[in-house]
Amino acid sequence: MPIRPATSSDVSLVLPMVRAQYAMHVAWDAAKFGVKEGFEAGFGRWMAGLVKDPRGAFFVATNDRDVPVGFLVATVERELPLYLLAEYAFIHDVWVEKDHRGKGLARGLVIAALEKFKAIGIRQVRCETAHINEDARKVFSKMGFRPTTVVMLKELAP
Ligand SMILES: CC(C)(COP(=O)(O)OP(=O)(O)OC[C@H]1O[C@@H](n2cnc3c(N)ncnc32)[C@H](O)[C@@H]1OP(=O)(O)O)[C@@H](O)C(=O)NCCC(=O)NCCS
């Protein structure tokens, strides 16, 4: 499986996929997913930090020339203090380029992240999907994730 940890030189190659991922979400729900002009610069710096984070997960799926065609980014998050669970891993983004979908790359990326988090003692992994993104929920369900909360949103006029 062409899945490997990302390196700092992958960041600029992953950024167009980040852009596509956010454009898709903004088209679905701009109030929820609207991003600032030029957000990619900060996102790139964040990903460069994630490459070196021993508790983070940044994996790429590559083509036969070792060029990223998919990626996953996830971090360990602290739960609110009232909960029994102290921390969990959160998958922020998973993306596979259209021409490379349906070949098990997302599965490989998610498994790599699950293995990494299990190895550092994390016992729960979460992700969120846009409500409209039923396909993504099917993909995560196939990998053992189950639905939990549904976030609702109401916009208030200024
Ligand atoms: C969701 C996405 C990452 C899946 O990538 P992929 O590499 O095609 O997925 P895989 O080939 O690894 O498929 C994993 C499993 O999900 C299933 N699956 C994949 N796409 C599916 C779809 N559209 N509908 C239903 N099931 C699907 C596969 O059959 C496979 O199941 P199996 O192993 O039991 O056969 C990809 O479609 C994508 O990048 N979508 C846009 C971004 C997105 O929605 N990201 C997730 C939300 S953050």
Report the SS3 class of residue 17: helix
CB contact at 8 A, 117 and 89: yes
Mutate to test the pocket of ligand 1, among 1, 26, 139 (most ligand atoms within 8 A of CB): 139
Check pLDDT > 90 for residue 98: yes
Atom number of ligand 1 nearest to Cα 93: 48
Could you report the per-residue pLDDT of 111-156, keeping only the tens digit for each?
A: 999 999 999 999 999 999 999 999 999 999 999 999 999 999 999 9
- pLDDT at position 64, please? 96
Q: What is the DSSP letter of 93?
A: E
Atom number of ligand 1 nearest to Cα 136: 1
Give the Å distance between the CA of 108 and the centre of ligand 1.
Answer: 11
- Residues 57-68 have a mean pLDDT of 97
- Residues 67-93 have a mean pLDDT of 98
Share of the chain above pLDDT 70, in %: 99
- Residues 24-48 have a mean pLDDT of 97
Residue of the CA atom closest to atom 36 of ligand 1? 96
The rounded Cα 45 to chain-centroid distance in angstroms is 16
CB contact at 8 A, 103 and 38: no
Check pLDDT > 70 for residue 84: yes
In this prediction the pTM is 0.97
Residue of the CA atom closest to atom 5 of ligand 1? 106
Q: How far apart are CA 52 and CA 3, in angstroms?
A: 17
- pLDDT at position 79, please? 98
- pLDDT at position 1, please? 66
Check pLDDT > 70 for residue 17: yes
Atom number of ligand 1 nearest to Cα 130: 47
User: Which residues have CB under 6 Å of ligand 1?
Assistant: 21, 93-96, 101-107, 129, 133, 135-136, 138-139, 142
Report the SS3 class of residue 49: helix
Mean pLDDT, the chain, integer? 97
Could you report the per-residue pLDDT of 131-140, keeping only the tens digit for each?
A: 999 999 999 9
